[in-house]
């Protein structure tokens, strides 16, 4: 059973909603075979947790893609997730990345940008939004985006380590002040006491109980069923064969003569697809064979 999930909750009498994201096995599987440096892995894990959080709001089939691009030591963090919370992602960076402030790592002052894409089967073209990298952390960057896009005060706390990634999200709803004028400030101050280890290690009920014990006892909180998150990056030989067919036999055999094989890399899933001369001959049917 997966120990990766999104767990939404609602302080009904405060009109404050939120979610707890925990990525255990899904995050570990995403790192397998990658040899990411610790600084790179931390930022990628934090991005994975936020992506699962946002994708959990999809109400129809679709694929959400988040990309952080820049000219810093980390050039790319990319993560995508569909409405079934099937998650995948990767990072691209310099061979050596030393710890540094997040804006410097991502090259925020050198044209760094967050791109959010939503691809829906019902839409002719993906919806895209381009946002400057505003903030000194992954949490701050996405907190700024969420506040701008949803026009509601939001708080986001994010962490990632080798074994797990997690985040806590809070959002003030329109009637919050009418219910309790001090409620939002009180809840966010309590949330700010959360420790990274708690976000990575505790289940949602335990975490919420530790942070908001008095408010839960006084007002109650509705905690919804967990939405499982899985790492999903299967090999797709059919798609790769179609790519080679689209090159045409002549181009495929030219590549074979130059390299001895055709190698196609799927960077986001960390798969390699190798085709020999015999594979290509079989793919295109009987005919010339490259020697």
Give a yes or no: residue 191 inside a domain: yes
Structure tokens at 235: 């090999």
**Same domain, yes or no, for 183 and 271?**
no
Instruction: Give the CA angle between residues 16, 18, 19 to the nearest 5°.
Output: 165
pLDDT at 273 exceeding the cut of 90 = yes
**Same domain, yes or no, for 195 and 270?**
no
Task: For 223, list phi and psi in degrees, rounded to 5.
Answer: -110, 120
Q: Which structural domain range is residue 14 located in?
A: 5-231
CATH number at residue 242: 3.90.1280.10
CATH number at residue 27: 3.55.30.10
Give a yes or no: residue 290 inside a domain: no
For 55-94, write each residue's pLDDT tens digit: 999 989 999 999 999 999 999 999 999 999 999 999 999 9
Mapping DSSP onto H, E and C, the string for 58-124 reads: CCCCCEEEEEEECCCCEEEEEEEEECCCEEEEEEEECCCCCCCCHHHHHCHHHCCEEEEEEECCCCC
Task: For 185, list phi and psi in degrees, rounded to 5.
Answer: -60, -40
The closest of 98, 177, 106 to 142, measured between CA atoms, is: 106
What residues contact residue 278 under an 8 Å CB cut-off, 6+ apart?
289
Q: What pLDDT is attached to residue 286? A: 56
Structure tokens at 55: 């994708």
Give a yes or no: residue 183 inside a domain: yes
**Same domain, yes or no, for 204 and 69?**
yes
Give a yes or no: residue 291 inside a domain: no
**Same domain, yes or no, for 18 and 109?**
yes
What is the rounded distance in angstroms from the CA atom of residue 65 to the CA atom of residue 81? 7
**Same domain, yes or no, for 154 and 241?**
no
The closest of 276, 280, 266, 275 to 234, measured between CA atoms, is: 266
**Pure H helices in the chain:** 25-31, 38-55, 102-106, 138-150, 176-179, 183-191, 196-201, 204-211, 213-219, 237-247, 249-259, 277-284
Q: Is the pTM of this model over 0.85?
A: yes
Residue 196 carries which DSSP code? H
**Same domain, yes or no, for 97 and 224?**
yes
Instruction: Pick the last residue of a domain from 194, 210, 231.
Output: 231
Q: Which residues pair with 81 in a beta bridge?
A: 64, 87
**Same domain, yes or no, for 163 and 274?**
no
For 201-220, write each residue's pLDDT tens digit: 999 999 999 999 998 888 78
**Same domain, yes or no, for 28 and 86?**
yes
**Same domain, yes or no, for 193 and 241?**
no
pLDDT at 290 exceeding the cut of 80 = no
Number of domains composing the chain: 2
Q: How many CA atoms lie within 13 A of 165 on its CB side?
A: 26
Give a yes or no: residue 289 inside a domain: no
Give a yes or no: residue 262 inside a domain: yes
**Same domain, yes or no, for 41 and 172?**
yes
Q: Which residues pair with 23 in a beta bridge?
A: 165
Give a yes or no: residue 91 inside a domain: yes
Give a yes or no: residue 255 inside a domain: yes
**Same domain, yes or no, for 106 and 154?**
yes
Q: What pLDDT is attached to residue 2? A: 60
pLDDT at 291 exceeding the cut of 70 = no
**Same domain, yes or no, for 53 and 68?**
yes
For 38-47, write each residue's pLDDT tens digit: 999 999 999 9
């Amino acid at each position: 059973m997966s120990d990766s999930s999104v767990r939404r909750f609602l302080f009904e009498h405060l009109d404050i909603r939120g979610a707890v994201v925990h990525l255990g096995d899904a995050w570990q599987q995403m790192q397998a075979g990658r040899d990411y440096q610790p600084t790179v892995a931390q930022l990628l894990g934090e991005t994975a947790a936020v992506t699962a959080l946002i994708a959990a709001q999809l109400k129809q089939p679709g694929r959400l893609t988040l990309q952080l691009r820049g000219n810093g030591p980390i050039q790319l963090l990319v993560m995508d997730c569909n409405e079934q919370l099937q998650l995948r992602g990767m990072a691209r960076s310099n061979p050596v990345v030393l710890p540094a402030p997040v804006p410097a790592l991502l090259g925020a002052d050198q044209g760094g940008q967050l791109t959010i894409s939503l691809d829906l089967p019902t839409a002719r073209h993906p919806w895209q939004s381009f946002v400057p990298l505003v903030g000194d952390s992954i949490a701050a960057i996405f907190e700024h985006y969420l506040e701008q896009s949803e026009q509601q005060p939001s708080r986001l706390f994010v962490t990632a380590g080798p074994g797990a990634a997690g985040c806590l999200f809070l959002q003030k709803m329109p009637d919050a002040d009418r219910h309790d004028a001090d409620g939002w400030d009180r809840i966010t101050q309590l949330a700010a006491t959360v420790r990274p280890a708690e976000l990575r290690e505790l289940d949602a009920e335990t975490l919420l109980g530790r942070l908001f014990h008095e408010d839960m006892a006084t007002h109650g909180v509705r905690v919804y069923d967990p939405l499982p998150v899985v790492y999903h990056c299967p090999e797709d030989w059919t798609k790769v064969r179609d790519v080679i067919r689209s090159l045409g036999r002549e181009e495929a055999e030219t590549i074979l003569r130059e390299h001895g094989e055709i190698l196609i890399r799927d960077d986001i899933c960390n798969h390699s697809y190798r085709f020999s001369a015999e594979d290509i001959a079989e793919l295109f049917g009987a005919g010339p064979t490259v020697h």
